[in-house]
């Protein structure tokens, strides 16, 4: 099977070659397996057979999954654009990484604790639980993810309330440059727009509201054709929703916003594109069966997933030229 199924310019040197899948299910040279390639962040492994490819999505929480990898292409007219929130639509990654850092500092009882640069690919783009599991494993293995989540939501509730009250962390949520013009141009073209985030509703919705207020664009629920988040956190005494074990790089958020939220049939999947700044998001779009446009300034390059992008752009102006 040709590597171009992963991306038009993909080559083996872009990946880490493995002798066997990390769960041991597939081994090169057995049962028709020709090769196994992993992204450099080791989040997704691609198993190649003569006539098909499957992807193994690893899970820091112990619930991995396999998915088929289907060929994707972009066909015009574009009927729908699916857009990531953090880092793509709104510059907020620094804020959420800071919340993770604050949570670990609370676990350690060390207010001066700081994450390292090497941690960045593992504390953005995935679920809250996976971010925290990585940090617990590295910095405080005697603690639990559950305790880390308690601190995380304490810090989140405090900071989000402060932001909504007008005295929170400065520039926590800044609309990405050119996003307003890009969104309005898509509307003029009659393109459906879906907003997709692995973030929980309670952290994502204030971001969206704050960005639209800054842009003077009214109510985001009226503007977007569909919005999907990772739902509500599962906590003692409250009912949660599915989201922590099935976020990006799993395909479900992008699949659901397109098929259910926007009503796009599988026959029209080549008329849908996804825009992402994270490696997890790129994989999610790819596994959902859509053409992927990466945008700069996220962790796509550091995660080793640029080769999975059908296009990689520096800004929305460049993306618009591709779509039109």
Structure token digits, residue 257: 């916003």
Domain ranges of the chain: 3-69, 80-91+174-323, 93-164
Which pLDDT belongs to residue 202?
A: 83
Which pLDDT belongs to residue 121?
A: 81
Distance between CA atoms of 303 and 156, rounded to whole angstroms?
26
80-91+174-323 CATH: 3.40.50.1000
Whole-model pTM: value is: 0.87
Which pLDDT belongs to residue 61?
A: 81
With beta carbons less than 8 A apart as the criterion, state whether 313 and 319 touch: yes
Q: Which residues of the chain have pLDDT under 50?
A: none
Distance between CA atoms of 245 and 181, rounded to whole angstroms?
35
With beta carbons less than 8 A apart as the criterion, state whether 26 and 47 touch: yes
Distance between CA atoms of 3 and 8, rounded to whole angstroms?
8
SS (H, E, C) 101-157: HHHHHHHHCCCCCCCCHHHHHHCCCCCHHHHHHHHHHHHCCCCCHHHHHHHHHHHHH
Note the pLDDT tens digit of each residue in 117-169: 999 888 887 788 889 999 999 999 999 999 999 999 899 989 888 887 877 78
Which pLDDT belongs to residue 197?
A: 94
């Amino acid at each position: 099977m040709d590597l171009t199924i992963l991306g038009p310019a993909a080559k083996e040197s872009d990946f880490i070659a493995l002798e066997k899948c990390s769960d041991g299910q597939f081994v090169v040279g057995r049962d028709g397996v020709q090769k196994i390639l992993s992204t450099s962040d080791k989040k997704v492994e691609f198993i190649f057979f003569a006539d098909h490819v499957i992807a193994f999505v690893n899970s820091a929480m112990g619930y991995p999954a396999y998915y088929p990898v289907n060929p994707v292409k972009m066909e015009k007219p574009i009927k729908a654009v699916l857009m990531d929130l953090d880092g793509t639509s709104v510059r907020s990654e620094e804020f959420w990484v800071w919340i993770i850092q604050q949570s670990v500092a609370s676990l350690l009882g060390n207010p001066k604790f700081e994450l390292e640069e090497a941690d960045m690919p593992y504390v953005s783009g995935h679920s809250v639980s996976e971010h925290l599991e990585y940090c617990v494993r590295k910095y405080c293995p005697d603690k639990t993810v559950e305790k880390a989540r308690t601190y995380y939501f304490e810090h989140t509730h405090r900071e989000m309330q402060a932001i909504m009250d007008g005295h929170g962390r400065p520039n926590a949520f800044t609309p990405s440059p050119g996003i307003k013009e890009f969104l309005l141009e898509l509307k003029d073209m009659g393109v459906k727009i879906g907003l997709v985030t692995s973030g929980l509703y309670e952290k994502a919705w204030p971001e969206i509201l704050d960005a639209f207020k800054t842009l003077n664009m009214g109510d985001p629920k009226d503007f977007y054709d569909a919005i999907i988040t990772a739902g509500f956190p599962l906590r003692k005494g409250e009912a949660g929703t599915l989201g922590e074990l099935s976020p990006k790089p799993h395909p479900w958020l992008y699949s659901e916003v397109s098929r259910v939220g926007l009503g796009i049939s599988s026959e029209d999947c080549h008329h849908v594109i996804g825009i992402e700044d994270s490696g997890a998001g790129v994989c999610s779009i790819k596994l959902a069966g859509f053409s992927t446009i990466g945008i700069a300034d996220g962790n796509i390059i550091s995660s080793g997933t640029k080769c999975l992008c059908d296009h990689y752009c520096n800004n929305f102006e460049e993306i618009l030229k591709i779509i039109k």
